[in-house]
Amino acid sequence: MLHIILYAIVPIMVVMLAGYISGKKGIFSGDDAKKFNKVVLDYALPAALFVSIVDASREMLIKDIKLSLISLVVIMFCFMLVYYIYSYCFKSLNKADGAIMALICGSPTIGFLGFAVLEPIFGTTPYVALVVAIVGIVVNAIGIPVGLSLLNASKSQAASNGKKTSIWGPVLHALAQPVAWAPILAVIWVIAGIPWPAWASPSFDLIKGANASMAVFAAGLTLSAVKININWQGILGTILKLVVMPALLLIVGIIFKMDPLNLKMLVVAGALPPAFSGIIIASEYDTYVATGTSSLALSVVMFMVFCPLWIWITEISVKAFL
C-alpha cells in the first residue's frame, strides 16, 4: 500500500500542487489552463485512449463475459445516477452541470491510474490488463460520448431558449470530437480483429506521454484560478465515486458469482478517483469547473483511505460469499 501511495497518489498531488502554485504566482493563468486542456482533450487524451484500447484483443473482450457486462451495467448506472442527482436534485444546477459531474464522479480514472494502482496490488499479469482494458472501454468509448451528448444537448437547449431541438445534433457534435471518436474507432478496430502494428505505436506515444502530466498540472492551475468550493455537492460527488460505485460493483459481482480475482480488481478499479478527463471537458466548456475540480482534489486525497478499505472489505466478502 505504501508503494501505491508513493508511486500513484503522491505524484498526482505533487504535479497538481505545482500547477496550483504556478497559478497563484502568476506564472500561468486560468486561460493558459484552458489551452493546456485543449491540447490534452484534442490530441494527448485521444492518442492515449486509442493506443490503450487497440492493444487489447477481441479474445480479451469476450474472455470473461461477466466482467464485461457487470463493468458496463454498473459503471454506466453510476454514471447516469450521478447525472440525474446533479441535474434534478439541486435547484441551483442544470443538466449541463449534471453531465459534467457524471463525467467526473461517474467514471474512474482508469486510463491514468489503472495500471499504477492495480499492478502493485495484483502483480503484472494479463488479468490486470484485462480489467484495465474493459473498464477503459466502458469509460472512454461509452461514458465520454454519452456525457458529451448530454452536455451538448443541454447547451443546445439553452441556446435555443428552451425550444425543443433535435437530439441528433448534440450527439453528432459529441462524436465529431477526437476524445469521443478515437476510443470508438479503437473498439471497432479490436472487434474487427485487425492486428495493431507495433511500429505504429511510437507515433502516438510522444503526445500520449503529455496526457496525464499536463491534465493534472492543468487541474491544479484551474484550482488556483477558481474559488475552492468544498461544499455538499463536492462531498456528495466524492461519496458517489469512492463509496457507491465500488459497493455496487462488489454486490453485483457477488450476486452473479464473478471470478474472485476479477472481482477484487474490478472493485479497486471502481474505487479509483474521478476521471481527469471530466475536469478537462469541464474547463473546455467552462461548466461547473469549481465544484468539479474541488471534488476531484478531495477524492484524490480520500482515495488513500478508501483504497485499502475496499481491498479489506472485498477480501472478507469474497471469503464469505464466493
Q: Which residues contact 223 (CB under 8 A, 6 or more apart)?
A: 16, 19, 20, 23, 293, 294, 297
Q: What is the pLDDT of residue 162?
A: 55
Lowest mean pLDDT among 7-11, 93-97, 115-119, 147-151: 7-11
- Structural domain boundaries of the chain? 2-321
Percent of the chain with pLDDT over 70: 91
Lowest mean pLDDT among 25-34, 79-88, 232-241: 25-34
Q: What is the pLDDT of residue 98?
A: 93
pLDDT (tens digit, 9 = 90+) per residue, 102-130?
Answer: 999 999 988 767 877 887 788 877 678 77
Task: Look up the CATH number of domain 2-321.
Answer: 1.20.1530.20
pLDDT band at residue 171 using 50, 70 and 90 as cut-offs: low
C-alpha pair distances (Å), 34 with each of 218, 225, 258: 8, 11, 42
pTM reported for the whole predicted model: 0.80
Q: What is the pLDDT of residue 120?
A: 79
